[in-house]
Chain A
Amino acid sequence: MASPMRIRATEKDGIVDVRVLMKHDMETGQRKTPEGQLVPAWYISSIEAKVGDKVVYAAQFGPAVSKDPFLHFKLKGSAKKGDSISVTWADNKGETRTDKTDIK
């Protein structure tokens, strides 16, 4: 089962600052094990942030994004203190994870 993300969302002067840390190996598919086998590509490919039903930010990652990916984005107008923001990621194997937090 996918490990939880760490989401920090704070509002200041109308801007909601969101920082997300995701636990994922982000294998490029080019790494070899000590035995010489290629480790298959396995990486988060899409991320979506929602407030209610509305998608407020989205991103697409390739395997070049670092292990345990970090994403920092800002919202102005689509969210405010007290709202709940949820973040969902999906990887190339079809696994997904959703976590949410309240905007402080």
Chain B
Amino acid sequence: MNVQRRRLLQMTALVGLMASAGLMTQAEAATWNKAAFEAKTMDDLMKVLGGGAPQQSDAVTLRAPDIAENGAVVPVGVETSLKATEMAILVEKNPSALAAMFIVPAGADAFASTRVKMGQTSNVYALAKVDGKWLMSSKEVKVTLGGCGG
């Protein structure tokens, strides 16, 4: 193995080590992924995120209600027992598919729960990046506006 290649491998290992030790730089944590949040469709989004087509997996748990009384606030949770470095929540029929992304350093559980806006009844996807590949789970969430009372 030549010197240059060895150096490159050492560097890669170092970066990997830093990342896995949770020593993320301010820049990494703070840089908003504009292209991802502006991707309209899920196919466009996956091209931006990289890592290939997401594979359906029972190891990824998506928690979302069957019906949301108000599409403005829909509770959604994503969780996996696998070692995920990133997770995401997608709402297929929203103007932009990506709702939120979570960065999971070592020392954090692969778990996130938040609330998202849904414009209409749609499939909701929970994605988890494990070993550089995206795994996912999904369900349809019906959106209804409750009416006059309550």
Contact = CB atoms under 8 A, between A and B. Distances in A.
B112 A59 contact: yes
Nearest to A26: B117
B29 to A, nearest CB: 4
A78 B114 contact: no
Interface of A: 15, 28, 30, 45-46, 48, 54-67, 69-79, 90, 92
15 contacts: A28-B95, A54-B22, A57-B104, A58-B102, A62-B96, A65-B116, A65-B117, A66-B74, A71-B114, A72-B112, A72-B114, A74-B108, A78-B106, A78-B107, A90-B30
Contact of B113 (A71, A78, A92): A71
Nearest to B38: A62
A56 B33 CA distance: 19
Contact of B101 (A15, A60, A76, A77): A60
Interface in B92-138: 94-96, 98-109, 111-117
Which among A15, A28, A62, A66 has the greatest number of chain B C-beta atoms within 10 A?
A62
Contacts of A59: 100-103, 112, 114
Interface of B: 22-24, 26, 29-30, 32-33, 37, 72-74, 77, 91, 94-96, 98-109, 111-117
Contact of B22 (A28, A62, A78): A78
A71 B112 contact: yes
B83 to A, nearest CB: 12
A94 to B, nearest CB: 12
Contacts of B113: 70-73
A97 B23 CA distance: 22
B29 A58 contact: yes
Query: Which 8 residue pairs are nearest across A and B when measured between Cβ atoms?
Result: A78-B107, A72-B113, A74-B109, A66-B115, A64-B99, A58-B103, A62-B37, A77-B107
A61 B96 CA distance: 12
B137 to A, nearest CB: 18
A48 B30 contact: yes
Given A62-B98, A64-B117, A72-B77, A15 B32 contact: no
Contact of A64 (B22, B96, B106, B111): B96
Nearest to B101: A60
B106 to A, nearest CB: 7
A65 B107 contact: no
